[in-house]
Structure 1
Amino acid sequence: MTIKLDMIGIVVKDMKKALDFYRALGFDVPAEQDGQPHVEIQQDGVRIAFDKVETAREVYGGWEEPSGHRIELAFACDGASAVDELYGKITELGYASVREPWDAFWGQRYAVVADPDGNQISLFA
C-alpha cells in the first residue's frame, strides 16, 4: 500500500482574518472566499485547506481548542534578506512575532510568526 500526503488542513476561527494572513505570505486567495466555511488552494503543488471551527465540528463530530504548539508550517524564502523583509511585512501588518529573525546554528536565516489562530509559521532561507 502506498500513501501520499495530499493536503494540509488548518482550522480557523475567522476565515477572512486567516486568509488575509496567508495572502500577506503570498498566497493567491480570491477575496470572494472570505465568507466560505471551507476554502482550498494550491500553493506550489501543495493543497492547503482552511475550515472554520463550525465546519471542523461537523466533519469530526466535535472540536476542542488545542493548546500548545502541535504543528509548524515552514516557508522557504529566496534568501536571508527575504526572510527579514517578509518578517517585517507580517509584523507591520499587526501579526504576532514568535521570534525575530536570527542566524540559526544549522546555517539558515530563520524567523517565526503566528497566524491569527496561533499556529507557528517559520520563515527561513
Structure 2
Amino acid sequence: MGIKLDMVGLVVQDMKKALDFYRVLGFAIPEQANEEQHVEVAQDGVRLAFDTVEIAKSVYGGWEPASGHRIELAFLCDDAAALDALYAKIVEHGYESHREPWDAVWGQRYAIVKDPDGNLISLFA
C-alpha cells in the first residue's frame, strides 16, 4: 500500500482575503470562489484547499486557532530574479514580510511572507 500527498488544507478567517493573497502569489482562482466555504486549487497533482472556520468546526467537531509556526508552505520560483520580483509584488500589495530575500547558506535564494491568516509562506529558488 502506498500513499501520495494529494491535498494541503488551510483554515481561513476570511475566504476573500485568503484567496486574494494566493492570487497575488500566482494561483488562478475564480472571483466567484470568494463566497464559497470550501475552495480547492490544483497544481501539478497536489490540491491546495481553503476552508472557512465554520467548515473546520463542522469537520473536526471544533477548531482553535494555532499558535506559533505550525506549518510551512514553500513555493519554488524559476530563479532568484523571479523570487525577488514575486516578493516585491506581494509586499506592494500590502501583505506582511517575515524575512526579506536572502541568499541562504544551503545555496538557495529564500524569502518568507505571511498570508492573511499568519501562515508563513516560503519562496525559494
Shorter-chain TM-score tier: over 0.9
User: Counterparts of 1:81 and 1:24 in 2: how far apart (Å)?
Assistant: 17
Check if 1:92 corresponds to 2:92: yes
Report 1:31-50 matches (<5 A). 31-50=31-50
TM-score for the superposition, normalised by structure 2:
0.98
Deviation track 1:75-107 (CA, whole Å, cap 9, x = no partner) reads 010111111100000001000000000000000
Deviation track 1:10-58 (CA, whole Å, cap 9, x = no partner) reads 0000000000000001101000000100001112221111000110000
Q: Which runs of 5 or more residues in structure 1 are unaligned?
A: none
Count of equivalent residues: 125
4+ aligned runs moved over 2 Å, structure 1: none
Check if 1:57 corresponds to 2:57: yes
Q: Percent identity?
A: 70
TM-score for the superposition, normalised by structure 1:
0.98
User: Counterparts of 1:6 and 1:80 in 2: how far apart (Å)?
Assistant: 28
Check if 1:18 corresponds to 2:23: no
Q: Which amino acid aligns with 2:68?
A: G
User: Counterparts of 1:89 and 1:56 in 2: how far apart (Å)?
Assistant: 31
User: Counterparts of 2:121 and 2:53 in 1: how far apart (Å)?
Assistant: 20
Q: Which runs of 5 or more residues in structure 2 are unaligned?
A: none
Q: Which amino acid aligns with 2:16?
A: K
